[in-house]
Amino acid sequence: MVEDATAPIENVAELQLGKEFQDIHILSNAQVAVILQASAGYAVSRDEELNDVYRKVQRYVNRFTSMTNPEKEHQEVVDELDNLQDALTAFRKETEDGDEQELHPAEVAALMNLVATDTMVEEAVALIPSLSRFPEAAIDEILDIIRSTIIRIVS
Amino acid sequence: MFYVKTLSHEIVLEPVHFGQKLRATLVRLLKEQVEGLALANYGYVVNVIEVPEDQIKSGVIEYDTGSVIFTVQYTALLLRPFIHEVLDAVVSQCNPLGFFAFVGPLRIFVSKHSMPEDMFNGFDGEKDAWISDDKEVVIASGSGVRLKIKGRTVEQGNITAIGTIKDNYLGLIDDGEAQGPV
């Protein structure tokens, strides 16, 4: 693989996404599943064919989302996911200097994709290195928020 | 990572399409041309979410052909591998050099040098799988693996990424048989 030598160094572990990606809205797999489901219904009703890439992505997100429950009302799951994303985006922690730290959208999406009910702080930091700027207690709090949402959705 | 971004695209509309359904035709053509495309910097366009009505501005007439060029802005759902991000993927194919896994349309190659030490010599040609020394971990077609992206290359309209499962908490997630929630 060849990275253009003049391009800015991209490293999501340090939350450097590149200057073109500063104003994007990042989604977790579960949210993508919701969007695609709605879009698929719409296309089918207009008798359009879904393209290959679309179907592959749909298969992928349906397999790898920990936050789904076919027995639950679709809208309920959507609401839980939105609440979770709001809760994570609104998460603030005061550091010792009195500054406030918050979660970057990339971290929010990664957390929603990778964390399961039994994920511990150590694993979360290994998978999402940029979380190490938070104290352990704060990360535990974050994992707790996600854990309770997963339990609510799956039960 | 999946993300939503506003992009713009040029559509050349032949005069036969002019008339009442101009905008509907533009949106249809946009979806046909752009959905499924791999853009070099932005990744795969998975879906066109919205084409705001007021963003379809007047087109410019091409003097040579009589067709009109419209520059259309649209919001799209995109998939792009970011360096150092951790993703779950589905293994598709194993070979003596490593294995290929897919995240939707995105192909990721994990070489044997990016596997844990106890899997380095674990390629089993008969089972077409990578097996660890203690036989506990079997990575075969259909298995789910958690990997980290190390690099990315774009060629001929396809994006291929290079991944690793060598770090802690990476590697086999499921064997592809139980397809319930994680």
Answer yes or no: is B163 within a domain.
Answer: yes
Q: Is A16 helix (H, G, I), strand (E, B) or coil?
A: strand
Report strand pairing: B144-155 vs B138-140: unpaired
The answer to which of A78-92, B29-43, B78-92 has the lowest mean pLDDT is: A78-92
Q: Considering B79, B96, B122, which residue would you say is the last residue of a domain?
A: B79
Under 8 Å between Cβ of A112 and A84: yes
The predicted model gives B10-27 an average pLDDT of: 88
Q: What are A64-106's pLDDT values in tens digits?
A: 877 777 777 777 888 888 888 888 888 877 666 667 788 888 8
> Token pair of A102, please?
């918050």
Does B82 contact A59 at a Cβ distance shorter than 8 Å?
no
Domain ranges (residues) in chain A: 12-154
The predicted model gives B84-97 an average pLDDT of: 93
Number of domains composing chain B: 2
Q: What is the mean pLDDT of chain B?
A: 88
Residue B56 DSSP label: B
Mutation target to probe the B interface, by most B beta carbons within 10 A, among A63, A80, A111, A146 is A63
Q: How many CB atoms lie within 10 A of CB A140?
A: 14
CATH number where B168 lies: 2.40.50.140
Tell me the residue range of the domain where B9 lies: 2-79
B157 Cβ contact list (under 8 Å, min separation 6): B37, B38
Same domain, B45 and B109: no
**CA B161 remoteness from chain centre:** 10
Tell me how far apart the alpha carbons of residues A28 and A110 are, in angstroms, rounded to a whole number. 7
Per-residue pLDDT band at A9 (split at 50, 70, 90): low
ipTM here: 0.84
Domain A12-154 in CATH 1.20.1250.40: yes
Spatial CA neighbour of B97 closest among B116, B117, B121: B121
Q: Considering B79, B100, B121, which residue would you say is the last residue of a domain?
A: B79
Please say whether the dihedral angle defined by the alpha carbons of residues B113, B114, B119 and B124, taken in this order, is positive or negative.
negative
Tell me how far apart the alpha carbons of residues A1 and B152 are, in angstroms, rounded to a whole number. 6
> Token pair of B1, please?
């990572």
Under 8 Å between Cβ of B98 and B110: yes
Give yes or no for residue A6 having a pLDDT over 50: no
Same domain, B58 and B138: no
Same domain, B123 and B102: yes
Under 8 Å between Cβ of A8 and A15: no
Same domain, B75 and B89: no
pLDDT at A95: 65
Tell me how far apart the alpha carbons of residues B178 and B36 are, in angstroms, rounded to a whole number. 29
Q: What are A26-77's pLDDT values in tens digits?
A: 888 888 888 888 888 777 777 777 788 888 998 898 888 777 777 777 778 8
Tell me how far apart the alpha carbons of residues A29 and B1 are, in angstroms, rounded to a whole number. 9
Answer yes or no: is B52 within a domain.
Answer: yes
Does B86 contact A154 at a Cβ distance shorter than 8 Å?
no
Reported as type and span, the H/E element at residue A26 is strand A25-27
CA distance A98 to chain B (A): 30
Reported as type and span, the H/E element at residue B139 is strand B138-140
Cβ-based contacts of A21 with chain B (< 8 Å): 3, 5
Answer yes or no: is B182 within a domain.
Answer: no
Under 8 Å between Cβ of A53 and B105: yes
Give yes or no for residue B36 having a pLDDT over 70: yes
Instruction: State which amino acid sits at residue A70.
Output: P
pLDDT at B117: 92
Cβ-based contacts of B8 with chain A (< 8 Å): none
Same domain, B92 and B160: yes
Q: Considering B37, B57, B79, which residue would you say is the last residue of a domain?
A: B79
